[in-house]
Amino acid sequence: MRQRRLSFLLIHPEISRTRYNFVGVIENECLELEYISAMLKEEGHEVVLYDGQVEACGAASVIRDTRADVVYVCGRARQENFMLEYCACAKECGAVTIIGGLHAQLCYGRMYRSYVDFILTTFDIYRILDIVDYAVYHEEAAMARLSGVCYQKEGAWQQQVGEPFDIRRLPRPDRSYFDAFPNRYQYLELGHAAWVRTAYGCPYRCAFCHRNKMNMGHLSSRDIDDVVDEIAQIRAENIYIVDDDFLYDTDRLNRFVEQVRERKLLKKYICYGRADFIAQNPNMMKKLQEIGLYYVLVGLEAIEDTYLQRYEKRSDINQNIKSIQICNELGIHIMGMFIVDLGFCAKDFRALYRWIVAHQVRHVALSIFTPELCTPVYEQYRDRIITDNPSHFDYLHLVARPDHMWVGSFYIQYYILLIRLFLKAKREGVYDFIDYGDYIKSFIANIFRGKRRNDDA
């Protein structure tokens, strides 16, 4: 039987402790913690949130000051060291420690430490209540409800297989923390951008991506009317729809457009979408632009069909080009996301820049090909992995040896490309709110080192 109100500290660690963290450029609302906060408050518990992106004090001091009964920490691969550090600190303070988030769902075995009590391997946040029933209220029957949870029993780790989670079960997120920072949580030049999730999972199966393995590979979607109702209540003008792919169901999108228009919501939207969908649905893109679609993040990935085929994108270069043309004509800001492949030679870096210029891609994001930890792709590259530091799995580091270049030479070409793209953006007035000189100086400094050491970022 539950005997007392508990105190919870929910932590989203800092992204990095170096200057390569994009704080002040892109800051993501800690939506997962806000769902958990809403659930816990409904149960009558006391909740404190801590987000390392925006807080001035360190998480360790907050852990010691709050002396919470339960500390929950979430994050991605690059934050693994911080998650473990904060769990160790919380355990010293006598808290029950739980790790969750995307990284834990795939790499739970990396979290098996004496100071970690439970690891959530599912999107089902209600398992936290079962953990509390078992670990704090000592209800033995609760052990049978720990599906999707790893925990220690008699000195050995137990892992219960979870089930796909129905996103419609989530409570409306508690945005009091987000509202307390009206000048933070931005996406580039768009200030105060709230995260909204309408689905868990991805309907596609790109070879390099692990997101389609989330939620047991099952796609679970919310009702669009409920989504729009949530958006209407958000006290922010910018909405970042963080589904792995929002642009895939035309009936659902038509309903979204209809509801936004009917409720006269005047907001700007950011979302992910595929090039082939955009290329095949120009009229739908026009409707979305008319209700405020501002940025669409598109995995163009490559400028050659051979790479797209290897990545199993099920799209082609012609559709990439057409998607750019459609967005440019409509005035939608397309964020072209490209993979800097391990098979690149110097000429490929130069060709990528020329292609970006020729096709007028003003907004560009580059990711170094990264075999994700605990995935089949990682196993394919295991004999080429050059670092075991999870903080390097941030798409800004080489974690596997390139095919044709020395590591140092690869980094030099990568930084030259970044500098050229930054200079191009500066000429075109893109991101004029950032200090271009500061970024470019740091890139040049890395070039003159001859190679970039893996502990530099």
Please give the mean pLDDT across all residues of the chain.
Answer: 92
Neighbours of 132 (CB within 10 A): 23
Neighbours of 255 (CB within 10 A): 16
Note the pLDDT of residue 176: 97
Query: Which tokens sit at 113?
Result: 């430490």
Question: Which phi and psi (to 5°) does residue 385 adopt?
Answer: -70, 135
Query: Which tokens sit at 264?
Result: 């006269």
Note the pLDDT of residue 19: 60
3-state SS record for 384-404: HECCCCHHHCCCCCCCECCCC
Could you tell me how many residues make up the chain?
457
User: Percent of the chain beyond pLDDT 70?
Assistant: 96
DSSP state letters, 109-121? GGG--TT--EEE-
Distance, in Å, from the CA atom of 23 to the CA atom of 383, rounded to the nearest integer, reads 34
Q: How confident is the model at residue 208 (pLDDT cuts 50, 70, 90)?
A: confident
Q: Note the Cα 345 to chain centre separation in Å.
A: 29
**DSSP H or E segment with residue 86:** helix 80-92
Question: Which phi and psi (to 5°) does residue 196 adopt?
Answer: -135, 130
What one-letter code names the amino acid at 372? E
Instruction: Output 132-135 pairs: Cβ under 8 A, ≥24 positions apart.
Output: 132/6, 132/70, 132/96, 133/2, 135/96
| The Cα angle at residue 103 between residues 138 and 150, in degrees rounded to 5 | 25
Query: Which tokens sit at 110?
Result: 């990396």
DSSP 171: P
Note the pLDDT of residue 54: 92
Note the pLDDT of residue 342: 97
Query: Which tokens sit at 288?
Result: 């979305």
Distance, in Å, from the CA atom of 219 to the CA atom of 226, rounded to the nearest integer, reads 17
**DSSP H or E segment with residue 39:** helix 31-42
| The Cα angle at residue 17 between residues 16 and 21, in degrees rounded to 5 | 45
**Least confident segment among 62-66, 82-86, 143-147, 188-192:** 143-147
Picking from 302, 269, 301, the residue whose alpha carbon sits closest to that of residue 285 is 269
Distance, in Å, from the CA atom of 185 to the CA atom of 193, rounded to the nearest integer, reads 6
DSSP state letters, 415-436? HHHHHHHHHHHHHTTTTTTS-H
- Name the packing angle between helices 127-135 and 31-42 (round to 10°): 60
Mean pLDDT of 351-361: 98
Query: Which tokens sit at 202?
Result: 């991805």
Q: How confident is the model at residue 449 (pLDDT cuts 50, 70, 90)?
A: low
Query: Which tokens sit at 414?
Result: 């990568």
Note the pLDDT of residue 455: 42
Q: Tokens 């709110």 belong to which residue?
A: 433
Query: 210-258 pLDDT, tens per residue?
Result: 887 788 888 999 999 999 999 999 999 999 999 999 999 999 999 999 9
Distance, in Å, from the CA atom of 68 to the CA atom of 7, rounded to the nearest integer, reads 5
Check if the beta carbon of residue 280 is closer than 8 Å to that of residue 308: no
pTM: 0.94
> 3-state DSSP: the chain helix, strand, coil percent, rounded to 5?
40, 20, 40
- Examine the pLDDT at 3 and tell me if it is beyond 80: no
Query: 128-156 pLDDT, tens per residue?
Result: 999 999 999 888 888 888 999 999 988 89
- Examine the pLDDT at 454 and tell me if it is beyond 50: no
Euclidean distance between the first and the last CA atom of the chain, given in angstroms as a whole number? 49
Q: Any bridge partners for residue 39, and if so which?
A: none
Distance, in Å, from the CA atom of 144 to the CA atom of 279, rounded to the nearest integer, reads 49
Neighbours of 16 (CB within 10 A): 18
